[in-house]
A = this chain, B = another copy of it.
Amino acid sequence: MYNFDYHIPTKIFFGEGQIVKLPAEIKAVAGKVLLVYGGGSIKRNGIYDTLMPLLKEAGLEVFELSGVEPNPRVTTVARGAQMCKEHGIEAVLAVGGGSTIDCTKVIAAASFYDGDPWDLVIRKAPVTNALPVFTVLTASATGSEMNAGAVISNIETNDKLGLSHPAMLPRASVLDPTYTYTTNKHQTAAGTADIMSHTLENYFSKADDFYLLDGMAEAMLKTCIKYGPMALKEPENYEARANLMWTSSLAINGSVRWGKADAWSVHSMEHQLSAYYDITHGDGLAILTPAWMHHILSEATLDRFVKYGVNVWGIDPALDKWEIAERSILMTQDYFVNRLGIPATLREVGIGEEHLQIMAEKASTPALQKDVYVPLFPEDVLAIYKRCLG
């Protein structure tokens, strides 16, 4: 295993009704707060009406930015940062899923930068600081509520890129499972696939001697497998929604990541799909993951696939190793397609051959070739994309 620094100071208020604790946390560092949200579902499901009086009772002056897109745009970031500068806003509060939270984090950073926020995303300028970030989570998926990363899209350049800075880590996040009762079937399924993909990226990152982390990752995967279909069938099942919600945070806050190598190959490949076609991130991950698994299955990864198959999918350990590995991949795909109801192929989400070559080149960052079980070059990524076409 690798040396690691572990630091997750985000305060989490987990459970029904915990939102009442948030305003005091914001008030401790700010008088003016920018409330950021998406398409308005928070007005329909009552969160807005619960939150606003609480913020005002705490003596906070609230500004609002709505309309954050799925795959949030840098243009929206720029609008938010402009508001912060103009009104002397001292903290930002995201109410939504990963897209809203990611957008809000970069607004917080861009408030300290005078140029185009895209400069921060493409590393033309460094993030130096950020306004304090707070979140109220409404969809279990990206884990953005408890990590320092964000992914932003630029429609003009077909780029979807991640950035990360400790100052962007949320100070406090409210995780109320009842707020995900209204998450629709498609987003619930895609969110569950996203959580599983984060866990799988960690699980298939190098370091075979960190048994504890493997076991924790297996617990997270089994939690998704158990509760994803349950949440689809019974949207108001608290147990299902709560287990998924907490798994979404732990799967990507570092708990099962630090101490291992860090390739995150499938995410790199998926970001190209979302950048060129604006598809749902979790759909792209679920389509790519089994094909990626097929591609990397080899002597180098066989034992890991066997561990995965036996411990996560309950496959008989007495079977032949290759049989177990193949079966684990089939069970993964079957789960995504038949139990979560996610499309099986790229064509089903509107993706054809037209941009495969350029996407494969853009996806093949050095991270996919260094310190991994199986390095992926542009031709490998292209083969994986083609396998997914259907």
Contact = CB atoms under 8 A, between A and B. Distances in A.
A200 B337 CA distance: 37
Contacts of A258: 14
A222 B307 CA distance: 15
B1 A5 contact: no
Contacts of A227: 211
Contacts of A16: 3
B21 A14 contact: no
Contact of A5 (B14, B209, B219, B222): B14
- Chain copies in the assembled complex: 2
Contacts of A13: 3, 5
Contacts of A53: none
A220 interface: yes
A226 interface: yes
Interface string A235-263: 00011001100110010000100110000
A288 to B, nearest CB: 25
Contacts of A250: 212
A222 B215 contact: yes
Interface of A: 1-18, 21, 209-212, 214-216, 218-220, 222-223, 226-227, 238-239, 242-243, 246-247, 250, 255, 258-259
23 contacts: A1-B15, A1-B242, A3-B13, A3-B14, A3-B17, A3-B18, A4-B12, A5-B13, A5-B18, A7-B10, A8-B9, A15-B259, A209-B242, A211-B239, A212-B220, A212-B243, A212-B246, A212-B250, A215-B216, A215-B218, A215-B219, A215-B222, A216-B216
Given A5-B12, A7-B10, A246-B259, 14 more contacts: A1-B15, A1-B242, A2-B15, A5-B18, A6-B12, A6-B14, A7-B9, A7-B12, A209-B243, A211-B223, A212-B243, A215-B220, A216-B219, A218-B219
